[in-house]
Structure 1
Amino acid sequence: MTTTVDVAGPGAWDSVTFRWLLLGRTVSGLGSAIAPVALALAVLHLGGSATELGLVVAAYALVEVLTTLFSGVIGDRLPRTLLMRGSAALAGLSQAVVAVLLITDQATVTLLAVMGGVNGALAALGGPVSRAVVPQTVSAAALPNAVSALRLSQNTAMVMGFSLAGVLVGFFGPGWAIAVDAATYAVAAVCFTAMRVAGAPVVPHQSLLGDLGAGAREVFRHTWLWVLITQALLYHLVYGGVQGVVGPIVVTREFGDQAWGLALAALMVGFLVGGVITLRYRPRRLLLAGTVFLSLTACFPLVLAIDAPLPVILTGAFLHGLGLEIFNVNWDLAIQQEIPPDKLARVFAFDHVGSFVMRPLGLAITGPVAEALGEHTWLYVTAAAMAGSTLLALLPSGVRNLTRDSAGESTPPVSHPVSTIDESATSR
């Protein structure tokens, strides 16, 4: 497998528009990491039970999944920067309402669940378009660095946000922590308003369901795309329960409560290191390389299954994050390279739903299945499923042979003659 590094031509950082996008997504990512911690503690401060907390979190997740596909359709119809700043502004307003309710002691668990659903819908509205807009902010040669930089900055923001959330709640209360989240959305909206992007393709549209069907057909037109989305379904079905249920039980029982926090920290360090690597590592066959690295994710459940010492468990968590991040960068780049611009938001929406729709089911079944089979047996099954599905994903030639389109090294996708709309004309 050969590797190339682009050293000529303008980089992503040379684009002012990309810098605004990077800043906006980083700041909103910081707030998005603070919010779930603050919300969970807010529910508990209100006397909510574990079941009520689960319902509040589920309201966000369920509405986000249900809304994402349709937000992909909207993201391919309307100017993407308009949707980004609109969703950020409304999310900031929504979180400000939650903050005021908590600070003034007017909040209830039911109200938090309703507002969680609202925020889930707003997150879905802005999510696919914030990924689809990236090729409009940089040159084709700078796209790999842009994808890597965005993911690295957001992962860094998440690490900082998780750490900051506990401090904010501990010193000021959950309401003020949510207020910080609202402020980050407001800053992101300003950043997205400052963006000036090139014209986006405009094609004749069908009905909402018709456009959704066109997005689905685009997904199934590419074997590598639907194969790896299917692999993600299985990954999240089995791994969600490892991180959310079995993993904490096994690790804390053997090594204490702090050990699980260390394991998650090692996971995030793996993400950060993987992001740094992708700034320079440019595999020619990007999905082959990415999927090989994805197989490292099986290391985490495997070391948990074998009762490994804590340093080995931390290493397994690190390798999980490292492999997943290298895959994610190559995956995002493959989609942005191969999918027609007028269908990008819809395809990213299908990717998001395919990645996470099975996670709630996995969380629900993990406890009963692990009790029936035994925790360690289930961890072995999970590791085998993650490694096996990754290896099976390498069988189609489309996954193995898809090559990087960088600096003219491979033939770009066929473009369709379409008109364009200048999104900067909609900016204030």
Structure 2
Amino acid sequence: MPPEINSGASPWALPAFRWFFTGRVVSLLGTSMVSVALAFAVLQEGRPDDLGLVLAAESVPLVVFLLFGGVIADRFPRRVVLLCANLGAGVAQGAVAVLFLTDSYHLPAIMALEFVNGASAALTLPAMMGIVPEIVAKSQAQRANSLLGSSRNAVTVAGPAVAGLLVAGVGGGWAIAIDAATYFVAAFCLTRVRLPKTLRKTGSGTWADLREGWREFRSRSWVWTVVASFGIINCVSVAVWSVLGPRIAERTIGSQGWGLVLSVHAAGLLVMSIVMYRLVVRRLLALGLVSISFAAVPLFVLGFEPSILWLSVGAFIGGLGMEVFAIAWATSIQQHIPENVLSRVTSYDALGSFVAIPIGQLLVGPAVSAAGEKSVAIIGGALFFVAALVPLAWPSVRGLSTMSNEPAPAG
């Protein structure tokens, strides 16, 4: 355990956590802004079909290199991996900003730069999960994840709005330039994170490391059952909420009403991330699964000609449940997976999540044509609810205990 870690103290008392937290918040702010800025910048300068190509250029390397990102994060110091990933993303986004600011729009160049950005994200995700237990004691992982979740949710609410103002005022290029700058600020913050040197395994090849990560992943039924369940949940959620939701909202509550609903959902996430800082539960993963089953509520509401009031209520409830699970899952992974394979197990988990997303996007159209919007929303809600609770049939899931956030008794 690093000398500065005190299992009874708040994570905020640790200088390393404060620097890591600051860098993460700054980086997330830029990321939340660029999704809006890049979309409008491409639509203004290029053809309508260009945006899909640009987004695909970023998402493909994220999926392709994710497992290798787990290997790298387990083999090399995670702080250094994150530092390099932020620098790479900063350079790539900076170059994209220059193209827009100099009126030099060139689709292949932008796609190539976004490919680099996606590859950087593939390094970031596994390393991000693995570095938290290196900074704080495992018993403080829930509080650390709650603080990080609170900042993420707050930024999610504020970032797109700030981006919209920037795009309207000075153009998308400057908003992308700000995003690039946030990566460099995050990299600087990581240079201030002081961690003890960790002896990493050397000598084995990449494929051997991947096989070892897979063995660790599938040897824990509480891990693979939840990941398999969330393959279904993510597929359904993307199909019904992200794709079908705006279609239903367009003819019922309108785009402004849908925007309000999304804001209320984000508020639910934010509120629960604050509550989870103090909540002490012995069976945290089981609570997380029960809680996220309530995220099926807004899907059901979509199937019954929703009003702004009831859909907002459902979205708020869903946000509360989703955040309980997000913190419970991250904490469980960080507390119960060995540090030397943590990033690889995380990469297999993330891959299961990302692969399901395009499946849902592709299936929702034919499903609506066959059964209608209402039926798809209601059936999707039922699938979501059942899939969230199925892992509780495994004793390893129900019985997984959580290390207490409270300090150990003296003596």
| TM-score by shorter chain over 0.5 | yes
Please state if 1:57 is matched with 2:39.
no
Q: 1:112 to 1:204 in 2, by over 3 A?
A: closer
Q: Please state how far the C-alpha of 1:308 moved relative to its aligned partner.
A: 3.1
Q: 1:245 to 1:8 in 2, by over 3 A?
A: closer
TM-score in terms of structure 2 length = 0.95
Equivalent pairs, count: 403
SS in 1 for 2:292: helix
SS in 2 for 1:200: coil
Contact kept? 2:143, 2:405, Cα under 8 Å: no
Tell me what 2:65 maps to: 67
- Work out the percentage of aligned pairs sharing the same amino acid: 38
Tell me what 1:41 maps to: 40
Tell me what 1:179 maps to: 177
**Partner residue of 2:233 out of 215, 235, 258:** 235
Q: Please state how far the C-alpha of 1:409 moved relative to its aligned partner.
A: 9.9
Tell me what 1:303 maps to: 301
**Partner residue of 2:88 out of 84, 87, 90:** 90
SS in 1 for 2:36: helix
Q: Please state how far the C-alpha of 1:274 moved relative to its aligned partner.
A: 1.4
Equivalent-residue separation in structure 2 for 1:314 and 1:245 (angstroms): 18
**Unmatched 5+ stretches in structure 1:** 1-6, 411-428
**Higher mean C-alpha deviation, range 144-153 or range 198-207:** 198-207
Contact kept? 2:285, 2:332, Cα under 8 Å: yes
Tell me what 1:203 maps to: 201
Please state if 1:398 is matched with 2:390.
no
Q: 1:407 to 1:317 in 2, by over 3 A?
A: closer
Deviating beyond 4 angstroms after TM superposition, the runs of 4 or more aligned structure 1 residues are: 407-410
Equivalent-residue separation in structure 1 for 2:261 and 2:104 (angstroms): 37
TM-score in terms of structure 1 length = 0.91
Q: Please state how far the C-alpha of 1:205 moved relative to its aligned partner.
A: 4.6
1:7-46 alignment, distance < 5 Å = 9-46=8-45
Contact kept? 1:200, 1:342, Cα under 8 Å: no
Tell me what 1:103 maps to: 101
Equivalent-residue separation in structure 2 for 1:293 and 1:205 (angstroms): 43
Tell me what 2:274 maps to: 276
Tell me what 1:148 maps to: 146
Deviations 1:240-272 (A, max 9, x none): 122332100101211211011111111111110
Which residue identity lines up with residue 278 of structure 1 in the other structure?
M
**Partner residue of 2:214 out of 216, 227, 230:** 216
Equivalent-residue separation in structure 2 for 1:18 and 1:287 (angstroms): 24
Contact kept? 1:96, 1:179, Cα under 8 Å: yes
1:317-332 alignment, distance < 5 Å = 317-332=315-330
Deviations 1:181-218 (A, max 9, x none): 00100100000111111333423452111101111111
Q: Please state how far the C-alpha of 1:152 moved relative to its aligned partner.
A: 1.2
**Unmatched 5+ stretches in structure 2:** 1-5
Q: 1:155 to 1:205 in 2, by over 3 A?
A: farther
Tell me what 2:3 maps to: none
Which residue identity lines up with residue 72 of structure 2 in the other structure?
I
Contact kept? 1:26, 1:157, Cα under 8 Å: yes
Deviations 1:276-335 (A, max 9, x none): 111111211011111000101101110000123210101111111110111010100000
Contact kept? 2:280, 2:404, Cα under 8 Å: no
Q: Please state how far the C-alpha of 1:59 moved relative to its aligned partner.
A: 1.8
Which residue identity lines up with residue 43 of structure 2 in the other structure?
L
Q: Please state how far the C-alpha of 1:123 moved relative to its aligned partner.
A: 1.1
**Higher mean C-alpha deviation, range 193-202 or range 20-29:** 193-202
**Partner residue of 1:122 out of 120, 123, 126:** 120
SS in 2 for 1:202: coil
SS in 2 for 1:321: helix
Root-mean-square deviation (CA), in Å?
A: 1.7
